Structure 1
Amino acid sequence: MRGLEADSIDVVITSPPYNLGLAYRTYQDRRGEGDYLDWMTDVGRAVARVMKPGGSFFLNIAGSSSEPWLPFELMVRLRTVFHLQNHIVWVKSIAVEDDSYGHFKPVNSPRYVHRNHEHVFHLTRGGDVPLARLDVGVPYKDKSNIARRGHAQDRRCRGDTWFIPYETVRARAQKFNHPGTFPVALPAMCMRLHGVPDPVVLDPFMGTGTTLVAAQQEGARGIGIETDAAYVGIARERVQAAIRAMESTDI
């Protein structure tokens, strides 16, 4: 990020290593907690430098059942850099009455329940960034609320819980052999919520390029940073495939 101009990025969307010992190809995902928090605070400062004053930083991170505090410890550290404008809970799977939706990852322990969510912290420089809430909104269930409450359209704010399931996969290769991917819909919704046309979007932990694929689909300019050359190659292929798909649709 040192090579990027200050105040040049509209939206930052990223999912850094969680420091939980995930099996990346080259990065060792197990630092001492203090070292990890220092490193991520430095990353936060670098993001604040390149982000426009009215920009948004969507940080996807999670703890584990045995180490639940780390995301919140990081947020305490980043209070010196950002305002926490919104805390979105990304619901990956959910049970409603006797039915279930999404993919449930088993937890083999009698002490813990399944972890079905992750955090998306919406960080801004001043805490006063206006959002296009209805661009990621949902229709009203009770249509009488539209006129009765003076709304201009059949659309209400989605709120701070987003149900975005993964597509079911049966092998790690279907996730591009990366242990920490997220669905394309997640960064796409973050871009829509920020609501700036033709935004410049940065992912400083690009991985296999999901944010850049979403940026291509949303008409944004995507910039990705990644240390692993193999993941960079996968990201390039995915973006090129997204471009071809859009071109064939236009025809």
Structure 2
Amino acid sequence: MTTNVELHHGDCLQGMGQLPAGQVDLVVTSPPYNLGIDYNTYRDTSERQAFIAWCLEWAAEVKRVMADDASFFLNVGAVPKNPLLPHQLLLALTDGDDPLFILQNTFHWVKSISVETRGGDTISTGHFKPINSKRYVNDCHEYVFHLTKSGEVTLDRKGAGVPYVHKSNISRWGHTEGEDKRCRGNTWFIPYDTIKNRSRDRPHPATFPVGLVQQCIRIHGKGENTHLLDPFNGIGTSALAAVRSGIISYTGFDIDADYLDVTRERLRAEHEEPAETT
């Protein structure tokens, strides 16, 4: 299926206001973290309460355009000396007598991990930004909060599943239904793609891998009929995931025209021309 990609240059709050209510199946996004990240256009240094108030505004528009059975996957990171932002934002979105969203699942996006094999070897894999500190350890993960309107949205748990290590479990447990695949759980190891030139291959200071968005598409389980929205398009990672997953449509907003140009170039490399932008 050819994905209909629509890119819009402008503020997502205003842009989403032009979309009809209840038409989006899936939202995957990573907003600015308010941690002083050096974006081209956006100034990532708001006072904390003002930042959260702004997030509540655009999140309310996200909720309006979502279908009742839609999923909203919100990726939020932090830094070791300022670790509370993801939790403060989550509480703002889900707390109170009439919350915007229900937290249905919390996923941990693991960028780098070290594990010990049964043979006693330690294997390290993935990518992380090392820090030089006597107080903090390297931060190798971010949160992905799965938010829904009701807390009762059905997922395709095996859509993002993994095969059994011990194949005898397939016949031993009735819930497998004979299939060599189980729920992956809420820990997702998805490393960044290896790049040769940061300014050319990843000209954005805060991106997530295409595989992370593809994982959200799979587990939400709507297949090719999914309409995906990313209010903070950046350089088009969600758009690429939409194209590679073969879903019906993608809508992205960004205030930075240069980032949208990069998105178009990435889509052209995937042989998918975006629709005219506004």
Q: Distance in 2 between matches of 1:119 and 1:200?
A: 23
> Which structure ranks higher in relative contact order (CA pairs < 8 Å, sequence separation ≥ 6)?
2
Asked if structure 2 preserves the Cα contact closer than 8 Å seen for 1:134 and 1:157, the reply is: yes
Q: Distance in 2 between matches of 1:186 and 1:132?
A: 16
Partner residue of 2:146 out of 122, 125, 133: 122
Say whether residues 1:200 and 2:200 are aligned partners. no
Report the equivalent of 1:67. 82
Report the equivalent of 1:107. 131
RMSD between aligned alpha carbons?
Answer: 1.3
Report the equivalent of 2:7. none
Which residue identity lines up with residue 239 of structure 2 in the other structure?
L
Q: TM-score, normalised by structure 1?
A: 0.95
Where in structure 2 are the equivalents of 1:37-48 lying within 5 Å? 37-48=52-63
Deviation at 1:182, TM superposition (A): 1.1
Q: 1:210-232: per-residue Cα shift (whole Å, max 9, x none)? A: 10110011112111000000001
Asked if structure 2 preserves the Cα contact closer than 8 Å seen for 1:175 and 1:181, the reply is: no
Q: Distance in 2 between matches of 1:106 and 1:55?
A: 36
Q: TM-score, normalised by structure 2?
A: 0.86
Where in structure 2 are the equivalents of 1:86-165 lying within 5 Å? 86-97=105-116, 98-150=122-174, 151-152=176-177, 153-165=179-191
Q: Distance in 2 between matches of 1:217 and 1:86?
A: 25
Deviation at 1:99, TM superposition (A): 2.1
Deviation at 1:147, TM superposition (A): 1.0
Say whether residues 1:222 and 2:246 are aligned partners. no
SS of match in other structure, 2:194: coil
Which residue identity lines up with residue 94 of structure 1 in the other structure?
I
Q: Distance in 2 between matches of 1:168 and 1:184?
A: 12
Deviation at 1:244, TM superposition (A): 5.5
Which residue identity lines up with residue 164 of structure 1 in the other structure?
I
Asked if structure 2 preserves the Cα contact closer than 8 Å seen for 1:91 and 1:161, the reply is: yes
Q: Distance in 2 between matches of 1:82 and 1:88?
A: 16
Partner residue of 1:26 out of 38, 41, 53: 41
Unaligned residue ranges in structure 2 (runs of 5+)? 1-15, 117-121, 274-278
Deviation at 1:93, TM superposition (A): 0.2
Q: Distance in 1 between matches of 2:230 and 2:272?
A: 22
Report the equivalent of 1:183. 209
Deviation at 1:96, TM superposition (A): 1.2
Which residue identity lines up with residue 162 of structure 1 in the other structure?
W
Partner residue of 1:236 out of 258, 264, 267: 264
Percent identity reads 48
Report the equivalent of 1:169. 195
- Out of 130-139 and 103-112, give the one that drifted further: 103-112
Q: 1:135-179: per-residue Cα shift (whole Å, max 9, x none)? A: 110011111111111122011000000000012335421443200
Asked if structure 2 preserves the Cα contact closer than 8 Å seen for 1:176 and 1:234, the reply is: no
How many residues are treated as equivalent by the alignment?
Answer: 245
Asked if structure 1 preserves the Cα contact closer than 8 Å seen for 2:243 and 2:272, the reply is: no
SS of match in other structure, 1:236: helix
Report the equivalent of 2:9. none
Q: Distance in 2 between matches of 1:208 and 1:32?
A: 26
Q: Distance in 1 between matches of 2:245 and 2:128?
A: 29
SS of match in other structure, 1:135: coil
SS of match in other structure, 2:158: helix
Q: Distance in 2 between matches of 1:176 and 1:163?
A: 20
Asked if structure 1 preserves the Cα contact closer than 8 Å seen for 2:106 and 2:145, the reply is: yes
Alignment CA distance shift 1:242-1:22 (3 Å): same
Q: 1:53-85: per-residue Cα shift (whole Å, max 9, x none)? A: 000000011111011001100111001100100
Deviation at 1:7, TM superposition (A): 0.2
Say whether residues 1:85 and 2:104 are aligned partners. yes
Asked if structure 1 preserves the Cα contact closer than 8 Å seen for 2:101 and 2:149, the reply is: yes
Unaligned residue ranges in structure 1 (runs of 5+)? 246-251
